[in-house]
Amino acid sequence: MAPPLTRRTLLQSAILAAAVPGVGGAAASTASAAYTATALPPPAGWALQPFPLDTVRLGDGVFAAKRQLMLDHARGYDVNRLLQVFRANAGLSTLGAVAPGGWEGLDGEANGNLRGHYTGHFLTMLSQAYAGSGEQVYADRIGTMVGALTEVREALRRDPAVLSVAGRFGRAAEHVRGSHRYVDLPAGVLGGAAEVTLAAWVKPTHDGNWARVLDFGNDTTRYLYLVARNGNGVPRFAVTTGGPGAEQGLDGTAALPLHQWSHLAVTIGGGTGTLYVNGTAVARNTAMSLTPAALGTLAHHWLGRSHYASDPVFAGALGGFDAWSRALTADEITGLQGARVPGDLVSYAFDETSGSAFADSSGRGLTATLRRTWGAPSHPGFLAAYPETQFIQLESMTGSDYTRVWAPYYTAHKILRGLLDAHLATDDARALDLAAGMADWMYSRLSKLPEATLQRMWGLFSSGEFGGIVEAIVDLHALTGKAEHLALARLFDLDRLIDACAANTDVLDGLHANQHIPIFTGYVRLYDATGEERYLTAAKNFWDMVVPHRMYGIGGTSTGEFWKARDVIAGTISATTAETCCAYNLLKLSRTLFFHEQHPKYMEYYERALLNQVLGSRQDRADAEKPLVTYFIGLTPGHVRDYTPKQGTTCCEGTGMESATKYQDSVYFKAADGSALYVNLYSPTTLNWAEKGVTVTQSTDFPREQGTTLTVRGRTAPFSLRLRVPSWATAGFRVTVNGRQVSGTPTPGSYFPVSRTWRDGDTVRVSAPFRLRVEKALDDPSLQTLFLGPVNLVARNPSTSYLEFGLYRNAALSGDLLPSLTPVSGKPLHFTLDGTGFAPFFEGAEDPTHAYVRRAEPRVVFGNSDSGVPNPAKADGTTLLDEVWAGAPFSGKGALVTRVRGVVDAWVAGGLLGQADGERVVSTARGATFVP
């Protein structure tokens, strides 16, 4: 393969924008003979800016271990398998590769109508792997894929060309499955013959029924055809002038073998039809009154294509086709097995090795032409793994039908995003050229459609899903500066959703979650490019409608891929909860919003979803063939995670590959003016902040370690180090610099600033003690999920009913519930309670788990001392113990007893607790021993 082109050689005469328009909308651009930056220019409106992946190195720990599993998969998987569907669609050799299966092949769900999306994900994964590791193998694989996709686009631009393979005699023409190619014969092939012999050498490569070897006719009423497999899987010939109900036919007795040459022949003469397979007569019909002459002049004469739109195109090789104006004898048919004998009506040997024309050796000069069933792309920038018909059909659809059209613009987004990431990671200008061509093609289609058509398309469930295409197009515009590209991004406005969310009207009930989350990341980027406030306002309000109102404890959202009513959590728990793609896209949206508004809630969510659902969605074992990522994470009791969903290659496995190769992307952000460094996540990493001439290294085993140490090396540099104080860090968060405590009071759910002129060797120690707490389902407070600091703990138990646990029995004076659990020696973050083990959600095991448990505190217990008094509850479900411990932390035992006395007196006065029982409760509290 030729070495990658550079931007300079490809774009030396282009003028590209080097900056995105600011929030005010003014275009701040510079002209250049060649765009030479290696990263996207940050929008002028971002108060914070990210660091490129290659400037943050991931150290040893839970994230690096998970990443290594995915890096090994990325290194070992045969990319030709991913490219198979692209090459097939373009009529190129697939090099013997087998498509991955699942959603990436013609036999998967909905006939593979989403094929190509996974290739885009894989390109993004490789790009991130290269940026994060620097290993050349990933760049080489990117180059292979980009080179192949360049060849695919060139092949799609041209008329189809014969794919020549070895034939029964000489050469043959191969029709790769998925290429939608057929041979178009000129009119008059049969010459109105009253008798006829049709013969063909075929090597089928797929067992699909009703794929035509030949179909000569006008429509589905008047025709004759020959198939390698009918509905029963055997060869069939039929002729009719009255549709399928009036067919006169011949059926074989056995299926043709796949990947082997077979000879099919049909003779009609004197009212008798005979079907031959490999020279042997297998069927005879003495009542075949219809002949080619009876059909009259026909409109089409096709090899490999059917007049029935639902029939597959023939997949395999054609080694010859001949027609004679008489019925050959049995001996003559037998003779065709050993030598070529040209027909007198038409004869094609398919010996051509190039071009799209097939010579006729009958002497009649009836040259045939190789064609695509769907014609040619509407624009030279078209690139896909299936015909453009998916996009064309969408424009007239009024209802969803993913078996016909399954999210073609979603698939286009994944390819576009992958190409952009490939370009940014490796400086391969071919990738940018492919991406820009795709945008040019989309603009050429969509800009011609009425506004009403666009709104209808984007509102269709599944079929109209377009993923994060707006974000990708705005990023592309940042590189090209082409006005049409920004205009294209705005053609994906879904106005009714934008307007509702901008008005803070919650319309999410019933919507498909992952269809809509990435839309808003794109709209934030449109705000960056245009300054239109409604985009940003809508995105902020949308985020607040999901978090926490439709969020499970692990950070996931959706049930069965859809949202239900606001604040219904317990009522939506199912085996198909928390689609993994949703978490991936909510992380992207949270990150993007944080660049505009430094509200800690966005990074609070980021930590929650990343450390729990995203990490836990990857199984903890290696696999060369599958990325082993969940689709759904069921939160029903005893759920076992499925790490190989739908035979692989789903959307969630695609985003899972991406997530696992960019764990470091949001650990640090910098202020746009360079005045501050935000430490958002506690993770073992090393940041190279080139502008400041410093590195910042975090040394930690977080979350197995409750804190981190940051070391600044390099030249002297003044800036504010802003350390996130997690909302779960309610006690003991402490910061020292070079051993001295930093003054100030860290507030949970904020950022703690440490401003100084940093010198080489300065060391910052952050202590963030964990406490065990519960989070209650919004619609059922008794259903709770456990957290130790940021770590979600799940019970491991095969029961399919909610487990019941009490947690107040040995609660600490601080309010920490952890003393009620017993730690497992030698296994950090593992505990037992009542004989059941609890483990971090992020461990990718296959044990049956309980993410939610039923809280049951039947009796009043303090410090493991049981009062024997039933724990009473108010009408809203609040128990006496709930009210007591709501006063934590307590400065000492006396303060706790005082709290107990006050609560008991109030409950006795309210008739909720008897006087004697109340005194026993107070007495038990006085006599109990408490953990501080």
Contact 74, 661 (CB under 8 A): yes
Q: How far apart are CA 250 and CA 272, in angstroms?
A: 10
Average pLDDT over residues 371-390: 97
Q: Which CATH architecture has domain 9-150+387-659?
A: Alpha/alpha barrel (1.50)
Conformation bin of residue 270: beta by default, left when phi > 0, alpha when psi is -120 to 50: left
Average pLDDT over residues 1-15: 34
Amino acid at 32: S
Q: How far apart are CA 170 and CA 188, in angstroms?
A: 27
Q: How far is CA 176 from the centre of its chain?
A: 27
List the structure tokens of 503: 């008005």
Percent of the chain residues topping a pLDDT of 90: 94
CA distances to 176, 229, 316, 337 from 199, rounded to whole Å, are 21, 16, 16, 11
Annotate 794-820 with DSSP letters as a single string: EEE---SS--EE---TT--TTS--GGG
Contact 432, 422 (CB under 8 A): no
Least trusted range by pLDDT, from 91-95, 98-102, 251-255, 839-843: 98-102
Write the pLDDT tens digit of every residue in 295-335.
Answer: 999 999 999 999 999 999 999 999 999 999 999 999 999 99
Contact 462, 579 (CB under 8 A): no
Q: How far apart are CA 716 and CA 692, in angstroms?
A: 8
Three-state SS for 581?
helix
List the structure tokens of 62: 């839970």
The mean of the pLDDT values for the chain is: 94
Q: Which CATH architecture has domain 668-702+707-767?
A: Sandwich (2.60)
Q: How far apart are CA 337 and CA 278, in angstroms?
A: 7
CA distances to 258, 403, 512, 653 from 108, rounded to whole Å, are 20, 11, 22, 15
Annotate 730-744 with DSSP letters as a single string: -S--EEEETTEEPPS
Three-state SS for 277?
strand
Whether the model pTM is above 0.85: yes
Spatial CA neighbour of 694 closest among 766, 758, 765: 758
Contacts of 503 (CB under 8 A, 6+ apart): none
Q: Could you tell me whether strands 163-166 and 316-324 are parallel, antiparallel, or unpaired per DSSP bridges?
A: unpaired
Specify the pLDDT at position 473.
98
Specify the pLDDT at position 38.
53
Of the pLDDT bands very low, low, confident and very high (cuts 50, 70, 90), residue 39 is confident
Specify the pLDDT at position 646.
87
Q: Could you tell me whether strands 804-805 and 853-855 are parallel, antiparallel, or unpaired per DSSP bridges?
A: parallel
Contact 481, 16 (CB under 8 A): yes
Average pLDDT over residues 660-681: 98
pLDDT at 37 over 50: no
Q: Which residues pair with 723 in a beta bridge?
A: 679, 752
Contact 230, 218 (CB under 8 A): no
Average pLDDT over residues 136-163: 97
CA atoms within 13 A on the CB side of 344: 10
pLDDT at 578 over 70: yes
Average pLDDT over residues 258-281: 97
Three-state SS for 284?
strand
Specify the pLDDT at position 289.
94
Q: How far apart are CA 538 and CA 542, in angstroms?
A: 6
Contacts of 12 (CB under 8 A, 6+ apart): 33, 34
Specify the pLDDT at position 12.
31
**DSSP code for 109:** G
Instruction: For 516-525, give one letter per residue: b (16+ CB within 10 A) or e.
Output: bbbbbbbbbb
- Specify the residue for token string 């909610």: 802
Specify the pLDDT at position 21.
30
The domain locations on the chain are 9-150+387-659, 181-372, 668-702+707-767, 770-856, 864-932
Write the pLDDT tens digit of every residue in 765-774.
Answer: 999 999 999 9
Q: How far is CA 752 from the centre of its chain?
A: 36
Query: How many CB atoms within 10 Å of residue 621?
Result: 11
CA distances to 107, 200, 491, 516, 652 from 113, rounded to whole Å, are 10, 31, 23, 20, 16
pLDDT at 27 over 90: no
Classify domain 181-372 at the CATH topology level.
Jelly Rolls (2.60.120)
CA atoms within 13 A on the CB side of 405: 25
Specify the pLDDT at position 823.
98
pLDDT at 19 over 90: no
Cα-Cα-Cα-Cα torsion 306, 307, 309, 314, nearest 10 degrees, comes to 10
CA distances to 28, 620, 661, 791, 792 from 64, rounded to whole Å, are 39, 12, 9, 17, 19
